[in-house]
Amino acid sequence: MVIVFMPLCVKHVLHSCQTVIPQCLQFQWLSVTFLIMMVLKIALIGLGRAGRFHLNSIRRASGIQLKYVVDLESTAAEAVAAEFGCSALSDTGPVFQDPDIDAVIVATPTLTHYDYVMAALQAGKSVLTEKPLGVSLKQIDECYQEAEKKDRILFLAFNRRFDPSFSQVAQRVKNGDIGTVQIVRTTSRDHPLPSMDYIKTSCGIFHDCIVHDLDMLRFLTGEDPEEVFAYGSNFIDSIKELDDLDTVIVQLKFASGMLATIDISRNAVYGYDQRVEVFGSRGMLQAENRIATTTVHFSEGSVQRPAIDPSFPTRYQEGYFIELVSFRDCVLHGKVLPITHADARKNYIMAHTAEESCRSGKPMKIDYGCGVSK
């Protein structure tokens, strides 16, 4: 990490950049105000769809310096490196050996997460990793144990927790604004359909997509479901050939009596459909889809509204940014890690049990103390 001393004249610039500088790090010396600005030096591994939204957040965030980009595709890495004035690599060796690097963002295909996360932690780097963290509870546990051993941050990127609308719903539920929660619904329909190359190595719809909704249910309500029943269908032949599903309904029951449904599709032709609804004894909270403009065209016999966000990079751009800033603050300023080892474990167990329910065609109890062996 680098500490930069800044004179007073640039203080307003930092404020406009939403820089988080704790009071204790601001001091006065010989009547001249200085700020201590800590800078997180990072490497980004993977420059595909996820890597690109992280780059957008890095462009906007203060206190973060991108030193390396790593991708197997060297031309992609070189183009990004030219923009950011950093080094382009096709393997991570130099990143892990560089003592100047504080943290690594892992945005590579799912099956590579465990190896990169472990290697980064073993090299003493903090990590923000795309979901899912691992393909088994054993891998998840090993990563968090390594983070603890090395006293480093391991931040699992459940980005929807940082979406301003969803986090406002969670806060209002917590405040008791809608009384006792009775029903929660999440809708996540993807757009555009990801490539078959992506889906092939995604670990399936439960661990690739439904994990977000399962995390959202716990985030919105503060409760853990105790029973799950999932139905799945295939409307897309190429997904069926992979023994995966493109359309799933998950139903969950909680100890309090609360019920939840998750409605998932790999492909909504009208855009990236992301909604949540929480119904309680004193009202209902909804977070609707976002639209870029509010212009509505009324004409004879029709009303036209703008389309919803086309995909995740725009829909969740604010959430991705807040997530990155939160990671920076965990590493630099010791802020509380928002997504814990217990969250990652429970999420994996829920997704695994939902998938088992779907395959068996039966409702299943969710055993959080279990040894899920897969």
Which of positions 12-31 make contact with ligand NAD (CB under 6 A)?
none
Residue 135 DSSP code: S
- Asked whether position 159 contacts ligand NAD by CB under 6 A, the answer is yes
CB of 289 to ligand NAD, least distance (A): 16
Which of positions 217-256 make contact with ligand NAD (CB under 6 A)?
none
Alpha-carbon distances of 83 from 62, 66, 187, rounded to whole Å = 17, 11, 37
Which of positions 77-116 make contact with ligand NAD (CB under 6 A)?
107-110, 112
- CA end-to-end span of the chain: 38
CB of 109 to ligand NAD, least distance (A): 5
Q: Which stretch binds ligand NAD (CB under 6 A): 67-75, 147-155, 244-252, 274-282?
A: 67-75
- Asked whether position 48 contacts ligand NAD by CB under 6 A, the answer is yes
- Asked whether position 46 contacts ligand NAD by CB under 6 A, the answer is yes
DSSP E strands: which ranges in the chain? Answer: 2-7, 26-29, 32-45, 64-70, 87-89, 103-106, 126-129, 154-156, 181-189, 225-233, 247-254, 259-265, 273-280, 283-287, 297-299, 302-304, 364-365
The interaxial angle of helices 317-333 and 164-175, nearest 10 deg, is: 70
From 254, 312, 321, 327, residue interacting with ligand NAD (rule: CB under 6 A)? 312
Say how far apart CA 23 and CA 88 lie, in whole Å.
Answer: 37
Say how far apart CA 362 and CA 350 lie, in whole Å.
Answer: 15
- Asked whether position 273 contacts ligand NAD by CB under 6 A, the answer is no
Draw the binding track, 171-210, toward ligand NAD (x: CB under 6 A; -: no contact).
---------------------------x---------x--
- Asked whether position 117 contacts ligand NAD by CB under 6 A, the answer is no
Q: Is the peptide bond before 132 cis (omega within 30 degrees of 0)?
A: yes
Say how far apart CA 332 and CA 123 lie, in whole Å.
Answer: 18
CB of 362 to ligand NAD, least distance (A): 28
Q: Which stretch binds ligand NAD (CB under 6 A): 65-73, 97-105, 178-186, 355-363?
A: 65-73
Residue 158 DSSP code: -
> Contact positions toward ligand NAD, by CB under 6 A?
45-51, 70-73, 76, 107-110, 112, 130-131, 157, 159, 198, 208, 312, 316
